[in-house]
Structure formats: structure tokens, C-alpha cells
Amino acid sequence: MTNETPEQQIIEVGRRTIHAEALALKHMEESLGDEFVRAVETILACRGKLIVTGMGKSGHIARKIAATLASTGTPSFFLHPAEAFHGDLGMISPDDVVLALSYSGETDEILKIVPFVHDNGNRLISMTGNASSTLARNSDVHLDIMVRKEACILHLAPTSSTTAQLAMGDALAATLMHMRGFTAMDFARLHPGGSLGRRLLMTVGNVMRTTNLPVVAPDCEAGEMIHTISRGGLGLIVICDGQGKISGIVTDGDIRRAMESRQAEFFNIKAMDIATRNPKTIAPTAKLIEAEKKMTQHKVNSLLVADGDKLVGVIQIYDIKL
């Protein structure tokens, strides 16, 4: 009988599971070879889509692989093998490549669609744990994901094997990205609703603040500065001349420091006395990613948006991170 506490047993089983899956991935890394090259070349040469299929747990992994590929430059979708055998085979065009997942290589629903794939002229890539299986032997390319044992405590539930499938799918996606020269901008175009897509595709002008900007004149007095900075809610005031030309910027930090250093004389100062002249600006046509980089480079949270030397808005790091 073990002397371990329940907490220690929990940690130990968790660690054994992760260790077993790590060993499976290490073995797959070391055995990756010519068939992987052939799989990548087959997909690169495909003039249609990559159709990924799998049943049960392999089907769940297949869905994820298809989604990853589709979002990284390889047109792809998941096809349920049971539905395919009952009419959805019409979704497969002759120019497509089929990627079939079955750890045993003997999944009936997968094997039933293999004759159609061959008759339709499609290339078939299989991902199994048995190179001698029916599916592997009837494939143009076979990706071996054999694991020595499942991480499940009974060595039965798909655990290490599904991890291996997922890792092989990620390896395909990453390699295809590299071979296609897939860039961050390409990724952004396919993820316009994501944070990266937003920063790469949207411009400063799309999100900058343009109304009720905290603008003061160069001779603005201390009391007015405090009132304006509080009202503006941006933590700063912008000093502009009568024509809207930017003369400087004063932050709430500048005001606090001036109050500490000047004390009784503080209320006699003018805005330009404590302003940062030639503040950092950016054009409204610049991408949000450029604004973010500029803020990071200069260690500031705000940039004045200028058209030439005229103020047109303010953008803050919080606007970019929304």
C-alpha cells in the first residue's frame, strides 16, 4: 500500500501521463523522415483543398488539424467519414488531397471511403500507428505516429496517440507555412477579428480619439491645466497654437513633479514651462502595429496623431489592446 498522500498521488499520475506523452513525441521527432517530406510536397502540389477525415477521437483531432491548416495558408476542411459514405463524398473534388487519421489503420468508416478516393483520382495521405495496416498499405503517403503505450493508466484510452496525431498535424502546418513563405500579414488577413489581425490591418485613424481632446494654449496656467487634464481622461494635455500646430505635451506626471519641485510657485507656471517639446507623433494612416512598436520603443503609453504638424487625434496603448 502506498504511503503517498492523495495530493502526491494526483501529482505523480499527472507527471507520469505528461512524461509518457513527451516520450511518444520524442520518438516521433527522431523518426520523422522521407514520408513526412512526401506528405508536405503532396500538399504543396495540391491544386484543390486538403480534406481531413477521422472517426471518434481521431475525428476530433482531425477537425483541429483542418482548422489549423485553413488558418495558416492551406485551404482545408474536415469531412466526417460516416457522413461521407452517405452522400458527402460529393464534397471531394478530383483536385483535392485527402488526409485520413486512424491510429489502428483499420477504422471501418475510413476504409469504406478509400475506394472512392482512389477512383476519384485523389492522393491519399494516412496517419496511423501501424505501418502494416490496411489504411497505411492503401495510401500514397503514410505518416507513422506509433506510440509505445498510451498515457492512460489502463493503456487503453487514446492519449499518447492523439497527442502524436495533433503534433504531426502541427508539424505539417508549420512546415507548410515555412515552405509557402506565410507571413504575419497573411495570418492577420485570415484572422481579422483577432488581436494580431487588428493590429496589423487597422490604422491609427480607425481607433484614435478625435473628440473632446484636451488641448490648451501655450500660455495656459496651472489651474487650467489641472482642470483640462482631469476632464480629458487621457492623462495628458496637448499644447497647440492658434492654428492647431502641436507645440508640446504635458502629462499628469509632469504636473505632479512640477507641484513637488515648485511648490508655492506652481500656480504661476505656464504650460510651456513644463512641456515636453517635439512630442512623439504618428500619422493617422500608420498601422496599429507601428503605433505599438513606437510606444514600446519610446516607453510611452500615448502618441499624438498628426497630419503634418497639426493635431488630429490621440492614440493610447489601451486603444490598441482593445
User: Is the pLDDT higher at 322 or at 42?
Assistant: 42
Mean pLDDT to the nearest integer, 137-147? 96
Mean pLDDT to the nearest integer, 164-191? 88
User: Is the pLDDT higher at 222 or at 55?
Assistant: 55
Amino acid type, 306: A
The pTM (predicted TM-score) of the whole model is: 0.69
Q: Is the pLDDT of residue 308 over 60?
A: yes
Between CA 93 and CA 47 the distance in angstroms is 10
Q: Is the pLDDT of residue 1 over 50?
A: no
Mean pLDDT to the nearest integer, 293-321? 90
Q: Which fold has domain 204-321?
A: CBS-domain (3.10.580)
Q: Tell me the β-bridge partners of 245.
A: 310
Position 184 scores a pLDDT of 74
User: Is the pLDDT higher at 288 or at 304?
Assistant: 304
Can you list the pairs that 195-200 forms with residues at least 24 positions away whose Cβ atoms lie under 8 Å?
195/321, 198/288, 199/287, 199/288, 199/289, 199/292, 199/320, 200/287, 200/288, 200/289
Three cell numbers at 12?
505523480
Position 25 scores a pLDDT of 94
pLDDT in tens, 72-117: 999 999 999 999 888 899 999 999 999 999 999 999 999 999 999 9
**Predicted confidence band of residue 268 (pLDDT cuts 50, 70, 90):** confident
Asked if the 6-182 domain carries CATH number 3.40.50.10490, the reply is yes
pLDDT in tens, 27-84: 999 999 999 999 999 999 999 999 999 999 999 999 999 999 998 999 999 999 999 8
Q: Is the pLDDT of residue 322 over 60?
A: no
Please report, rounded to a whole number, the percentage of residues in the chain having pLDDT higher than 90. Answer: 66
Average pLDDT, the chain: 91
Helix axis angle for 34-44 and 160-180, nearest 10°, is 50
Position 318 scores a pLDDT of 85
Three cell numbers at 234?
487621457
Amino acid type, 220: C
Hey, where are the domains in the chain? 6-182, 204-321
DSSP 219-279: T-BHHHHHHHHHHH-SSEEEEE-TT-BEEEEEEHHHHHHHHHHHGGGGGG-BHHHH-EES-
Q: Is the pLDDT of residue 4 over 90?
A: no
Judge whether 67 and 41 are in contact, CB under 8 Å: no
Q: What is the DSSP letter of 181?
A: T
**Predicted confidence band of residue 191 (pLDDT cuts 50, 70, 90):** low
Position 266 scores a pLDDT of 87
User: Is the pLDDT higher at 227 or at 244?
Assistant: 227
DSSP 43-58: HHT-SS-EEEEE-THH
